[in-house]
Structure 1
Amino acid sequence: MRPLFVLTRVECALFLREPASVLFTFALPLVLLSLNGANGNRPSDLLAGAGYIDVLMAGYLVYVMTTSGVMGMAETLADYRDKGILRRMRVSPLRPWQILGSHALMNLAVSVLGAVLLVAVAGSFFGLSRPVSIPLVLLALAATACCVLALGFLLGAMLPTVRMTQAVTSALYFPSIFISGALFPRESLPELAQRISDVLPVTYAVQAIRKAWAHGVLDGTALVVLVVTAVVAVTVALRAFRWESR
């Protein structure tokens, strides 16, 4: 296990050296929270009686996890493949699960840090409520983490070059976070956008966390979608994954 943790520590250090990654993952959600949370955490009939900050928090947590798990995971794997880093690591004494596991653990650590930072700031300055059910929130967060990491792994495994990976992940990521409720409550979006978002796994991640946090309710449908998506994505990624560029 020691090589796994050493690799994870190295990947975390490399992540922190990328100003753009740190900005989009940590700073941007705090800026959005400050801009959108000025009116506090008042309950809203539009949001089924939930507090506005509570609803925003569910979306921002998913935003942090998706930014790290999908964008970060996919682009890093593609970049390492293009530069031959994966090939050289593959012929080292390291095992494949240690190499790939370090990327998953690094992105998971980034997500946890971003989530803790968001909750701390929202709770201290914007009136964030305590979760109605902490176990259900943790369950929803775990399912979300598995799903977004699996999707990032899938994109990093299937797309042949880093440029194509950046283009495809951006084309999928940005529309998803805007219409899934990750940045704004879905109730404030046009009906067409809400219907389109029904097919996005990220939408179900937001719903699962939101219902668990604000209402203490387990959204079984959302959890099934997240888990099934994760299993399918990992299965396909393992078959398609390549250590070298074509």
Structure 2
Amino acid sequence: MGLLWQVVRFESRRMMRNFAPVFFALAFPVLMLCMFGGIYGNEPSSRLDGRGTVDMSVPAYLVLVIAVTGLMSFPLGLAEYRDRKVLKRFRATPLGASALLIAQGLVNIALSLLGAVLLVATGWLFFDLHLPDSAGAAVATAGSLVLVTLVMYAIGGVVAAVAPSERSATAVANLLYFPMIFLSGATIPLQIFPSTMKAISDAVPATYAVKLLQHAWLDSATNVALDVGVLAGLLALAAAAAVRLFRWE
């Protein structure tokens, strides 16, 4: 356990030197919230089904935070280590290469949690964010976050598994990440999408994550069974594919 903790500490220091995931997980969602919260405030809007911009944005931005680490940082870290033969060398140590996977997962999830706390705290302190109004809503939100996190990391695992090199992993991760966050409602509210864009968003997995989190947080209208079913099915498929296809070297 002591050796694993040392690997986690090393990965933490390494993460803090990596500008992109730290910025997009910690600063970018907060900047988005400050920009749109400063423009629109949190007054109820008919365009957002009677809810405030900040109230609708924070649950959606949580998907943005998770996607940064799950789709970008986690798989790119694994691809880099495989490309540089680090995973191969670790397989000869008492810890084994799986220690790096565990450490990478723990550090990235910790970064997501910190990003989520900063986002919620900013909304609550400066923009009158309404928190989940019951213990049941808080539990539903936490459960939804766990499911969304597992899905994003499973997809990231597939990226790390199929990409033949660090460079190709970066290209694949970018092709997944940016369309997903801009077409799912994670940055721009789905309620203001034109009908054609809404139809496109139905094909984006993160759309169901956004809808599920907004429902859990705000009790907004959605088809919960569909959202959970899509996410759970995607989790099962992606996890199975990642385990089957992942190469240590």
Q: Residue 180 of structure 2 contacts residue 205 of structure 2 at CA under 8 Å; is this kept in 1?
A: no
Q: Which residue of 2 aligns with 1:64?
A: 65
3-state SS in 2 of match to 1:37: helix
Q: Which residue of 2 aligns with 1:186?
A: 190
Q: Residue 36 of structure 2 contacts residue 53 of structure 2 at CA under 8 Å; is this kept in 1?
A: no
Selected match of 2:244 from 215, 239, 245: 239
How many residue pairs get aligned? The number is 244
Selected match of 2:229 from 224, 227, 239: 224
Q: Residue 146 of structure 1 contacts residue 227 of structure 1 at CA under 8 Å; is this kept in 2?
A: no
Q: Which residue of 1 aligns with 2:116?
A: 115
Q: TM-score, normalised by structure 1?
A: 0.93
Q: TM-score, normalised by structure 2?
A: 0.92
Structure 2 distance, partners of 1:225, 1:8, is: 33
Q: Which residue of 1 aligns with 2:173?
A: 169
Q: Deviations over 1:114-156 (max 9, x none)?
A: 0001000110001110113101100110101111111111101
Q: Residue 69 of structure 1 contacts residue 107 of structure 1 at CA under 8 Å; is this kept in 2?
A: yes
3-state SS in 1 of match to 2:9: helix
Selected match of 2:145 from 135, 138, 141: 141
The question of 1:150 aligning with 2:154 is answered yes
Is the deviation greater in 73-82 or in 5-14?
5-14
Structure 1 distance, partners of 2:147, 2:154, is: 11
Structure 1 distance, partners of 2:230, 2:98, is: 25
**Offset, 1:216:** 7.3
Q: Residue 8 of structure 1 contacts residue 105 of structure 1 at CA under 8 Å; is this kept in 2?
A: yes
Unaligned 5+ residue runs, structure 2? none
**Offset, 1:167:** 0.9
Structure 1 distance, partners of 2:221, 2:197, is: 25
3-state SS in 1 of match to 2:203: coil
3-state SS in 1 of match to 2:123: helix
**Offset, 1:225:** 1.7
Judged with a 3 Å threshold, the aligned counterparts in structure 2 of structure 1 residues 198 and 216 are, in CA distance, closer, same or farther, namely: closer
Judged with a 3 Å threshold, the aligned counterparts in structure 2 of structure 1 residues 216 and 8 are, in CA distance, closer, same or farther, namely: farther
Q: Which residue of 1 aligns with 2:44?
A: 43
Q: Which residue of 2 aligns with 1:82?
A: 83
The question of 1:215 aligning with 2:216 is answered no
Q: Which residue of 2 aligns with 1:99?
A: 100
Q: Which residue of 2 aligns with 1:54?
A: 55
Structure 2 distance, partners of 1:5, 1:223, is: 34
Unaligned 5+ residue runs, structure 1? none
